[in-house]
């Protein structure tokens, strides 16, 4: 089968398309004929230097996939060949990712693809929507009427987090460049702030008319530390990226800070199906590229200025037979 592989850590040019052995499912596993593979910043981070994730080249990158089961292993009862599924696999200590024509995964980690989504759309969800779900619903636990400041709102995670916050009834102030504001408003943001031309913290307090209940940071650096001053006492903050700067206000204001590192989970995927079916959630696609252009996808990821997710198309048809 064909897969994207890197033999050394480095820039996007270390990604190469090659033939690799077809994997076989073991007990409790299924093999998926992948139709589309989502890309994520962690894929590029691990490609650059995956030692933090205990990766040792050669590595097939990728965490997200949507496709059709073609073989099941012993003991699999809930799924059968022909089922359309989507899922996320671990990006830690896992050298067999989803940038491939076929992939073996534990049946306990997969869910049926939402019927209203294409494989490209479904592949855009697992990791990014998982991060958004952990941030907005499980950790910040936003409720109706609360005000949240959302950094990186136009990105793959941020655009999904925005929709989830709106579905919870929260008032979202979305931070992104002006070119993204029409989309963010359409997704339900009550207000948008351009960080390149506006004082984000002053604008956020002006819009809300008070201190905010929560801040969600998908940008990193000192963004979250600088934003603690606009959170009300006993409020919450969350970040899925690096946090730097003076965090003393966490203590002074009795704030709760949540660090987010999403893990694979079947139950969360099933929750996405419900959100999609009710119209509360839809993936925002920035670019769709063929598998062989994975390097270009990584360059786009590393630019930091996309709008939504970048997805690799692995195959147009899902009924072909494995090439050994």
> What's the pLDDT tens digit per position in 243-273?
999 999 999 999 999 999 999 999 999 999 9
CB 295 within 8 A of CB 178: no
Assign 305 a pLDDT band (cuts: 50, 70, 90).
Answer: confident
The CA-CA-CA angle for residues 240, 242, 247, to 5°, reads 105
> What's the pLDDT tens digit per position in 222-238?
999 999 999 999 999 99
Per-residue confidence (pLDDT) for residue 57, from 0 to 100 = 97
Assign 323 a pLDDT band (cuts: 50, 70, 90).
Answer: very low
The CA-CA-CA angle for residues 27, 122, 101, to 5°, reads 55
Comparing C-alpha atoms, which of 302, 135, 294 is closest to residue 224? 135
Per-residue confidence (pLDDT) for residue 312, from 0 to 100 = 98
The CA-CA-CA angle for residues 48, 107, 19, to 5°, reads 45
> What's the pLDDT tens digit per position in 129-181?
999 999 999 999 999 999 999 999 999 999 999 999 999 999 999 999 999 99
Q: Which residues contact 228 (CB under 8 A, 6 or more apart)?
A: 215, 237, 247, 249, 250, 253, 255
pLDDT exceeds cutoff 60 at 321: no
Measured from the Cβ of residue 278, the count of other Cβ atoms closer than 10 Å reads 9
Per-residue confidence (pLDDT) for residue 318, from 0 to 100 = 42
| 130-259 CATH choice from 3.20.20.70, 3.40.50.720, 3.40.50.880, 3.30.1380.10 | 3.40.50.720
Helices (H), 124-199: 126-133, 156-167, 181-186
Give the whole-number percent of the chain exceeding pLDDT 90: 95
CB 53 within 8 A of CB 93: yes
What does the buried/exposed string (b/e) look like for 190-229 if buried means 16 or more CB atoms within 10 Å of the residue's CB? ebbbebeeeebbebbbebbeeebbbbbbbbeeebbbbbbe
pLDDT top residue among 322 and 205? 205
Measured from the Cβ of residue 270, the count of other Cβ atoms closer than 10 Å reads 12
Comparing C-alpha atoms, which of 165, 124, 137 is closest to residue 288? 124
How far apart are alpha carbons 54 and 49 in whole angstroms?
Answer: 10
| Phi-psi map region of 153: left, alpha, beta (phi>0 left; psi -120 to 50 alpha) | alpha
Q: Do the domains 130-259 and 2-125+283-313 match in fold?
A: no
CB 300 within 8 A of CB 285: no
Query: What fold characterizes domain 2-125+283-313?
Result: Quinone Oxidoreductase; Chain A, domain 1 (3.90.180)
Domain boundaries, the chain: 2-125+283-313, 130-259
3-state SS, one letter per residue, for 270-288: HHHHHHHHCCCCCCCEEEE
pLDDT exceeds cutoff 50 at 324: no
Per-residue confidence (pLDDT) for residue 320, from 0 to 100 = 41
pLDDT exceeds cutoff 70 at 215: yes
Per-residue confidence (pLDDT) for residue 319, from 0 to 100 = 42
Both tokens assigned to 295: 């390097």
> What's the pLDDT tens digit per position in 78-133?
999 999 999 999 999 999 999 999 999 999 999 999 999 999 999 999 999 999 99
């Amino acid at each position: 089968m064909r897969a994207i592989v890197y033999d050394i850590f480095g820039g996007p040019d270390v990604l190469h398309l090659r033939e690799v052995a077809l994997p076989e499912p073991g007990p409790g596993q299924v093999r998926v004929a992948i139709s589309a593979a989502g890309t994520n910043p962690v894929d590029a981070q691990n490609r650059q230097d995956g030692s933090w994730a205990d990766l040792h080249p050669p590595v097939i990158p990728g965490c997200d996939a949507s496709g059709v089961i073609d073989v099941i292993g012993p003991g699999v009862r809930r799924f059968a060949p022909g089922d359309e599924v989507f899922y996320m696999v671990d990006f830690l200590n896992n050298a067999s990712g989803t940038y491939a024509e076929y992939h073996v995964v534990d049946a306990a980690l997969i869910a049926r693809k939402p019927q209203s989504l294409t494989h490209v759309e479904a592949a855009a969800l697992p990791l990014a929507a998982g991060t958004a779900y952990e941030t907005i619903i499980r950790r910040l636990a936003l409720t109706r009427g609360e005000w949240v400041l959302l950094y990186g709102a136009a990105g793959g995670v941020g655009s999904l987090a925005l929709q989830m916050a709106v579905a919870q009834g929260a008032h979202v102030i979305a931070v992104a460049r002006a070119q993204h504001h029409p989309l963010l408003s359409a997704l339900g943001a009550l207000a948008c702030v351009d960080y390149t031309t506006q004082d984000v913290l002053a604008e956020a307090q002006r819009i809300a008319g008070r201190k905010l209940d929560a801040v969600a940071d998908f940008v990193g650096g000192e963004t979250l530390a600088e934003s603690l001053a606009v959170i009300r006492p006993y409020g919450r903050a969350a970040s899925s990226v690096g946090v730097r700067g003076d965090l003393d206000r966490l203590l002074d204001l009795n704030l709760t800070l949540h660090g987010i590192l999403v893990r694979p989970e079947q139950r969360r995927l099933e929750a996405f199906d419900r959100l999609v079916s009710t119209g509360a959630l839809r993936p925002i696609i920035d670019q769709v590229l063929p598998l062989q252009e994975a390097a270009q996808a990584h360059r786009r990821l590393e630019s930091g200025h996309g709008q939504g997710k970048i997805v690799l198309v692995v195959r147009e048809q899902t009924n072909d037979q494995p090439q050994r």
